[in-house]
Structure 1
Amino acid sequence: MKYQKIILFDIDYTLFNTDVFKQTDLKKHSVYDEVNNVLKELGKVGILGIFSEGDLEFQKNKLFRTDIQKHFLKAHMHITEKKEKILKKVLRKYKDKKVFLIDDKLSILHLAKTISPSLFAIWVKRGMYAKNQKPIPEFKPDTEVENLKEIIPIILNS
């Protein structure tokens, strides 16, 4: 089956519960409660990918320690020190697909929509970045969610 949708997830504050990680002095690796079910459901209708920033090994370790790496093929894992540097390249890779970008940083979603207006930007409003972000003039993501389970019907029906 050839999927026409690519669903790119950020790691921290989107899949990975970074607050718990910090509160336990970087010892407890956990994802939000809904994550495993969301990945399982969306994996039936699209290619799941990672688009995240930070140290490659540190970020990959979060995926493996929480056992969610099994949902992502290496070819669709894009982890870099700064997302802005590879955003165009990543979006170009998926130019023939319907791209869903799920992130807690409004600035990344805005830049992605500027590069690829057909991209579907989903703002996850949880974590320190989402709480402290100022609105970006003349930009509104395609949808805002507080829990990833809210994206299942959106992606299924798009």
Structure 2
Amino acid sequence: MKNKVLLLDIDYTIHDNSLFKNLLGKDFQSKFSISKNKIINIYKLLLNETGFFKPDLFVERLSKEIGYDHKIEIKNILWQKKRFKQTLYPDTRLFLKKIQDTIDTYIFSKGDKLFQTAKIHSLIKAIEPSGVFIFKNKYNKLNNTVKKFKGKKVFIVDDSPDIINKIKSIDNKIVTIMIKRPKFNKNYDYSKKTLADYVVKNLTAAAKIIESK
């Protein structure tokens, strides 16, 4: 076990959620008489209604739209393993490989646990065996999560300004790296002042910071 710990977000950090929605829409459009944009809009609507994506609710809503006799097929399309793997950002694997000898990596994410875990399934060897923390309300779990690593040098890489600011208020010594991808999460207000130690556009830059500390 290393002295440095990384709390790593999933959506818009290591996983391209915009690309995922786009490919998901295309897959349904090619199979059923429903437009790609309608699929994306249903996905976004459910996300806004519940605060995070609930796969069972998505399957139910689409079954109502397409037909309940297609429910199993709809579920299978949603959970297609290839798409989860395809929609990791290109720099994700190299990032994890570069930092693996210097830091223990833990996933710290918000959402449905099974669905979020499916996104990182192909990366699981690069993550600590007990290192997947996925909560329905990530913001409220920050304090308890940070306490698990008392005595360690903690880093966080996340795209949420609110998470970055909250974690700084808990412990100012935590090294905070906010990632803002070219196609970022439109639900976040990046005009607000951030307490992030660093703001980067990709994981290559984040790796350099982690290695230098």
User: Aligned equivalents of 1:41 and 1:81: distance in 2?
Assistant: 30
Q: Which runs of 4+ in 1 moved over 6 A?
A: none
User: Aligned equivalents of 1:121 and 1:45: distance in 2?
Assistant: 17
Give 2:108's aligned residue: 51
1:156 equivalent to 2:211? Answer: yes
Give 1:79's aligned residue: 134
Shift of 1:133: 1.3
User: Aligned equivalents of 1:99 and 1:57: distance in 2?
Assistant: 26
Structure 2 residues not aligned, in runs of 5+: 25-77
Higher helix share: 2
Change in Cα spacing, 1:135 to 1:49, as seen in structure 2 (3 Å) is same
TM-score normalised by length of structure 2: 0.68
User: Aligned equivalents of 1:16 and 1:88: distance in 2?
Assistant: 24
User: Aligned equivalents of 2:97 and 2:190: distance in 1?
Assistant: 33
1:88 equivalent to 2:87? Answer: no
User: Aligned equivalents of 1:135 and 1:17: distance in 2?
Assistant: 22
Query: When the two structures are aligned, how many residues end up with a matched partner?
Result: 154
Give the secondary-structure state (helix, strand or coil) at the position aligned to 1:129: coil
1:147 equivalent to 2:202? Answer: yes
Higher strand share: 1
After superposition, the C-alpha distances for 1:90-139 in whole angstroms (9 at most, x for unaligned) are 100112111111111000000000001101111110244368414434x4
Contact 2:10 2:109 in 1 (8 A): yes
Percent identical residues: 29
User: Aligned equivalents of 2:186 and 2:176: distance in 1?
Assistant: 14
Give 2:157's aligned residue: 102
Shift of 1:150: 0.5
- C-alpha RMSD over aligned residues: 1.7
Shift of 1:74: 3.6
User: Aligned equivalents of 2:171 and 2:114: distance in 1?
Assistant: 29
Change in Cα spacing, 1:117 to 1:143, as seen in structure 2 (3 Å) is same
Structure 1 residues not aligned, in runs of 5+: none
Contact 2:159 2:178 in 1 (8 A): yes
Contact 1:122 1:142 in 2 (8 A): yes
Give the secondary-structure state (helix, strand or coil) at the position aligned to 1:75: coil
Larger gyration radius, structure 1 or structure 2: 2
Following superposition of structure 1 onto structure 2, how do residues 32-51 of structure 1 map, counting pairs within 5 Å? 32-51=89-108
